[in-house]
């Protein structure tokens, strides 16, 4: 009979196969990146938007190259944070790339900036350092690498918006003390080395007050030239 109705035979066979596949899928976790990165969500939020814990950063919308570099650095221990070092230790490069691409492609809204706990004078000092730097002390402005809108640049320079002051301050400290390192030339280690505690507090506080820009996406590669070499963003 099927010989006379090949299309029907095909349809039945396909339906049967689909039925089998559906039964299989029902007993399996969703075949999605979202399900695969659930291990990340208690600290970084379901879509990488961050959580209430001020020390855990937002991941969503950062350049994929930046996120991938961080995953590689955590896996090798170059960037030290044992809970992350442990989770990533036995994951292959292509998977880490896929994780980075997943969080880079998520765009939950940036949070409302929280009211700052520091004085106006400190905020003003932070703004000055972030937007103009301090040439006498070899401190470049944040905006000279992270972009005029502080949204970062593809593929390796992260935006600085949507991060809490505690996180930014902790990272600058980690660079100063060598817990966080990146590929040479490790530009942020050099910059952080020139900052005082007061500078760190001021810059971190001012960055956290910045409202979300109309377009929070990182600008394309090569939009502007970097003032000095950076291992994370080869020219």
Contact set with another protein (CB under 8 A)? 27-29, 35-43, 53, 76-78, 82-83, 85-92, 94-95, 98
CB of 57 to another protein, least distance (A): 14
Whole-number Å distance between alpha carbons of 194 and 176: 9
Q: Which is closer to another protein, CB of 87 or CB of 166? A: 87
Q: Which is closer to another protein, CB of 88 or CB of 207? A: 88
Q: Which is closer to another protein, CB of 51 or CB of 116? A: 51
> Which residues contact residue 7 at a Cβ distance below 8 angstroms, ignoring those fewer than 6 apart?
none
CB of 37 to another protein, least distance (A): 7
Whole-number Å distance between alpha carbons of 56 and 43: 6
CB of 40 to another protein, least distance (A): 8
> Which residues contact residue 66 at a Cβ distance below 8 angstroms, ignoring those fewer than 6 apart?
152, 155, 156, 157, 158, 232
Q: Which is closer to another protein, CB of 43 or CB of 122? A: 43
Q: Supply the DSSP symbol for 178.
A: T
Q: Which is closer to another protein, CB of 84 or CB of 208? A: 84
CB of 22 to another protein, least distance (A): 14
Q: Tell me the CA distances in angstroms from 50 to 10, 27, 148, one per residue in order.
A: 49, 30, 24
Angle at 45 between CA 160 and CA 167, to 5 degrees: 35
CB of 33 to another protein, least distance (A): 8
């Amino acid at each position: 009979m099927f010989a006379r109705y090949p299309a029907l035979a095909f349809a039945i066979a396909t339906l049967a196969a689909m039925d089998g596949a559906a039964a299989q899928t029902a007993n399996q976790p969703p075949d999605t990146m979202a399900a695969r990165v659930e291990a990340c969500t208690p600290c970084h939020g379901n879509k990488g938007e961050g959580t209430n814990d001020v020390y855990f950063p937002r991941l969503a919308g950062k350049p994929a190259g930046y996120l991938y570099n961080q995953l590689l650095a955590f896996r090798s221990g170059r960037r030290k944070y044992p809970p992350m070092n442990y989770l990533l230790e036995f994951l292959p490069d292509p998977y880490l790339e896929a994780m980075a691409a997943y969080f880079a492609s998520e765009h939950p809204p940036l949070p409302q900036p929280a009211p700052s706990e520091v004085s106006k004078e400190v905020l003003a000092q932070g703004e000055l350092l972030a937007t103009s730097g301090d040439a006498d002390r070899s401190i470049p402005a944040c905006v000279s690498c992270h972009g005029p809108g502080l949204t970062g640049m593809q593929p390796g320079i992260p935006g600085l918006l949507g991060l809490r002051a505690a996180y930014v301050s902790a990272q600058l400290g980690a660079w100063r003390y060598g817990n966080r390192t990146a590929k040479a030339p490790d530009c942020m280690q050099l910059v952080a080395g020139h900052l005082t505690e007061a500078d760190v507090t001021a810059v971190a506080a001012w960055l956290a007050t910045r409202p979300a820009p109309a377009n929070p996406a990182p600008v394309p590669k090569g939009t502007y030239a970097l003032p000095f070499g950076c291992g994370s963003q080869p020219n």
